[in-house]
Amino acid sequence: MQDVKNPLPDIPKGPDPVKPEARVVMTQGDGRAETQKEVIDFLSSAEGHPGGGPVDVVQTHGALVFLSGEIALKIKRAVRYDYMDLSTLERREKMIRRELALNQPVAPEIYETVIPVTREANGGLALDGSGTPVEWVLRMWRFPAADELSVIAQEGRLDDALARDLGQAVFDYHERTPTRSADGATLMTDILNELDREFSQLHDQLDAAQIARFQAKSRAALNGLAPQLSERGAAGHIRRCHGDLHLHNLVMLNGRPVPFDALEFDEVLGTCDVLYDLAFLIMDLHHRGLGRAANIVLGSYLLAALGGEDDGLAAMPLFFGVRAAIRAMVLAQTAHATGTPMDDGASLYLNEALMALSSPDPALVLIGGLSGTGKTTVAQDLAPHIGAVPGSIHLRSDTERKALRGIDPATHLAASAYTPEARTAIYDRIFKRAGDILKTGHSVLIDATFLNPADRQSASAVALDAGVPLHRFWLDAPLDILVNRVTARHGDASDADAKVVRIQHANAVLPSDWQRVSAAGSVADTVAQIKDVLKTVNTYQP
């Protein structure tokens, strides 16, 4: 197989995880450094590796991976950090087996089995031989580098459809993980305490004023959220999560995004609020300049949860900020440990943390209009720029309708799904979700036809009840343009066709108190008109 890589992240793992450069001690006894060196030499050779060709070796602070052909062999380093002890053969076997147990159910295409390196009767080494084990190996299948999500993102291939699939994939992953009994406020307090200790040693690498602002804002946010975080723990939102969920640890397998390389060495670190786990991915996307994808991933995750995670959005600015601060910490620690000059990477992460913790005011934005006016496309362009990071939660009647039925958005629904009673139920559900989300401090953007004046009144009442600003935009375009657009689209959640559009056009009573926006031109033109209005309010972020 050509163009392959090892299934390992390039982001170091540490205790919260914030201490990748901690003290290391080479082992003695059954894990003697010289014994492992012999194993390393053996697995690095064509004789010791079953891949059938030259062997490449990739090293991290806690593991070595030997790559040849389609096969990757991974061993744990015989080391002891102050947060991770791999100093004995027994401990290394336990961690290797734990890594397999965590990852194989999700990614069996990568994770195969655990086998020993054995000392044979003739004194030599063998892979999975009959002698005494001297090291334990995780045998894996390699995958094309082009299938890693970090590469896909870098090459501009992470489109809206993949972002939606990514949010669904993370939700599905969390649904398979066991719930854990833990206090969410205590978990976050422990992380902030550890960050404080580590930041105190890095003033030569980081700006002290930046650190102080982050500490003040994060503590204030945690103090306000503590009761809710504790309640989320009691309600089952804390699970044995991935723990290291960023783009380097996601790969396309059989056309779907799959998490791999979950944090295995510490059950405490792997136990967290599901939205804190998701926040690492949201932060990683946002840091890469993929704010639109970050917004869609979050919205897709929340849609898959059918509203069950909406209340947790109150904590997303804190979760995002802490994830960004940890990345700043890792970069500063690495520079300190290696003696290399600091670039501006850590400062950028801290700025992003502060940005997340300084959220603009929430607002409700409504985008209405006949089918074919481009409401959803316009909404997706606008959502990342409205409200708290990573933008407003985009609620769409078409996707809500199909999510409730557990079907793919592109699946066509029969006319029975569009009865007046069914339509009312969907709008009521959207308004309920919108009200709940607004109360968390997040903005909401609702995209629907809003042809019924009663629905328009109900939507406006949501903003009034939540005490937030309301912005209403009605997209308008000639009938022939609308018919052409709905006829040409494929794979969209909307089931409206040319016949539906003509009926809408003939019967619609347009609102007089919504701002009319021409949608006859390009999407960019329509978005620009709305942005010009929103730029004057505090909720908009360029």
Contact status, residue 181 vs residue 236, Cβ threshold 8 Å? no
CA distance 280 to 286: 10
CA distance 33 to 21: 19
- The pLDDT-based confidence of 491 (bands split at 50, 70, 90) is low
Contact status, residue 296 vs residue 382, Cβ threshold 8 Å? no
Q: Is residue 34 packed enough to be buried (19+ CB in 10 Å), middle (13-18) or exposed (0-12)?
A: exposed
- The pLDDT-based confidence of 213 (bands split at 50, 70, 90) is very high
Give pLDDT tens digits for 253-271: 999 999 999 999 888 889 9
Per-residue model confidence (pLDDT) at position 223: 97
Give pLDDT tens digits for 52-89: 899 999 887 788 999 999 999 999 999 887 678 899 99
| Torsion angles phi and psi, residue 273, rounded to 5 | -65, 140
Angle at 332 between CA 331 and CA 335, to 5 degrees: 85
Q: Are strands 143-144 and 271-273 parallel, antiparallel or unpaired?
A: unpaired
Assess whether pLDDT exceeds 50 at residue 3: no
Give pLDDT tens digits for 306-325: 999 999 999 999 999 999 99
Per-residue model confidence (pLDDT) at position 415: 62
Give pLDDT tens digits for 127-147: 999 999 999 999 999 999 899
Q: For the chain, which domains are there?
A: 4-144 (no CATH), 149-356 (3.90.1200.10), 364-534 (3.40.50.300)
Assess whether pLDDT exceeds 90 at residue 244: yes
CA distance 170 to 257: 9
Per-residue model confidence (pLDDT) at position 498: 83
The tokens for 84 are 């991770």
CA distance 82 to 40: 24
Predicted TM-score (pTM) of the model is 0.88
Tell me the Ramachandran region of residue 254: left when phi exceeds 0, alpha when psi lies from -120 to 50, beta otherwise: left
Q: What is the mean pLDDT of residues 97-114?
A: 96
Give pLDDT tens digits for 327-352: 999 888 878 767 778 888 999 999 99
The larger pLDDT score, comparing residue 124 to residue 2, is at 124
CA distance 279 to 301: 11
Assess whether pLDDT exceeds 70 at residue 27: no
- The pLDDT-based confidence of 414 (bands split at 50, 70, 90) is low
Per-residue model confidence (pLDDT) at position 513: 93
Assess whether pLDDT exceeds 80 at residue 111: yes
Calculate the average pLDDT of the chain.
Answer: 89
Highest mean pLDDT among 56-60, 499-503, 518-522: 518-522
Which contacts of 115-124 are long-range, i.e. CB under 8 A and separated by 24 or more positions? Answer: 115/139, 117/39, 117/42, 117/43, 117/75
Q: What is the CA radius of gyration of the chain?
A: 26
